[in-house]
Amino acid sequence: MNQTQASTALAKRTLLLAVAAMGFAQTVLFAILAPLGREIGLVEVQIGAIISSSSLTIFLISPLWGRASDAWGRRKVLLIGLFGYSAGTMLFAGVFQAALLGYLIPIVALVLLIATRVANATVMAAVSPSANAYMADITTVKDRIKGMGALGAATNIGSILGPAIGGLLAGISLITPLYFSVLLTVAAGVLAVYALPVLPKPIHIRKTQKLKYTDPRIFPLVVAGVMLFMGFAIVQQTIAFRFQDMLGLDGTQTAKIVGISMMFSAAAALLVQLLVIPRLSVRPFVLLRISMPMMMVAFAIMAISETQNMYMLAMCILGSGMGLAGPGFMAGASVAVSSEEQGAVAGVAGACPPLGFTVGPLLGTYLYSIDGALPYWFAFGCYFILFFVTLKFKDRK
């Protein structure tokens, strides 16, 4: 291996570590936010608003960072994302710490938490587009899919470890997982400083017509994608309340069990993507149709069960369903347009998860405040409708 190849290999590994650290950082909050919010006197809808505001920010800001990476360089934007997240999380955790010590009343804490989380999300959103663009720059067309797939797998691994390790660290204090995520992203940023070479700025290419969300070829898929991730977000934001209220747990116990359940869910999704999907030779929309009944079963179990084991089972089923639905959705969007529009449709499809996570937490926590089972029956109904929406795609090539 010559020096150039060694440098490229090191850059790839650094990118994988960076997105894994960010995957950890983004998901660790789900294990602790609900009990932590309740500890400082916030109600369910207020806690949901914290996640919704940051998700909306990522949805709006990510395309801007993608264009900034063209103008400023991939490395610079990636470093802004990693170090910016670290600084923003310290502020976010500091607000929680002040509220826990009684220095902030709940309404003031809520305003400051939303403000610091939005600021945090603004810079956090720089990591994904810059990492993907950097990987595209250092891979050949032949290896491009493998490189992008590796980034996705690294994000999934971080997402598995986030809730699991976060739940364990919550045994020290509910705020400890946030500080640990800062250490990881700072370490990834320092590594990127030394391991990522500065790449030449991309050559300007002819602009293609912007692909609109309302394009009739993909609009039903956009609606389906937002509904898909909205239902998933409803579960992620309310499951901690469900565990705590149904099982009579304190905040630390809740964080631990939620962390384990999310780890099982993410692991199930990863196993499906690694072991099942490569062996299936079905069209993308078939994957969506298979996944819908699975996730409806998971929602029903969450709505009617009262035991920890059944909730764990439901999370595993939900993860398996998302493991099928996610690739089915992305591939379905890809085959709906021409080869010249693949980059554009990837951007549109990539906007659906944060948009779903903007609506889901607020809606889910509001429904939960009415009745603990209502968010899951609502998600069940959405996916029931979504199942029939996917039937419209059966004749697409």
What was the pLDDT predicted at 116?
96
pLDDT < 70: residue spans in the chain: 1-3, 141-142, 144-145, 148-149, 201-210, 334, 339-347, 392-397
Q: How far is CA 11 from CA 78, 148, 188, in A?
A: 12, 14, 12
Contacts by 247-253 with C-beta closer than 8 Å and gap 24+? Answer: 247/308, 250/35, 251/35, 251/36, 251/38, 251/39, 251/170, 251/174, 252/35, 252/170, 252/171, 252/174
Cα–Cα distance for residue pair 77/305, rounded to 1 Å: 46
Q: How far is CA 217 from CA 1, 228, 326, in A?
A: 45, 18, 19
Question: Do 387 and 257 meet the contact criterion of CB atoms below 8 Å apart?
Answer: no
What was the pLDDT predicted at 394?
53
What was the pLDDT predicted at 397?
46
Q: Degrees (nearest 5) of the Cα angle 165, 61, 109?
A: 60
What was the pLDDT predicted at 76?
93
Please report, to the nearest 10 degrees, the dihedral formed by the alpha carbons of residues 329, 334, 335, 337 taken in order: 130
pTM for the model stands at 0.78
What was the pLDDT predicted at 2?
62
Cα–Cα distance for residue pair 323/328, rounded to 1 Å: 9
What was the pLDDT predicted at 161?
83
What was the pLDDT predicted at 342?
59
Task: Report the candidate in 377, 53, 41 with the shortest Cα–Cα distance to residue 238.
Answer: 377
What was the pLDDT predicted at 392?
67
Q: Degrees (nearest 5) of the Cα angle 312, 172, 157?
A: 50
Question: Do 78 and 188 meet the contact criterion of CB atoms below 8 Å apart?
Answer: no
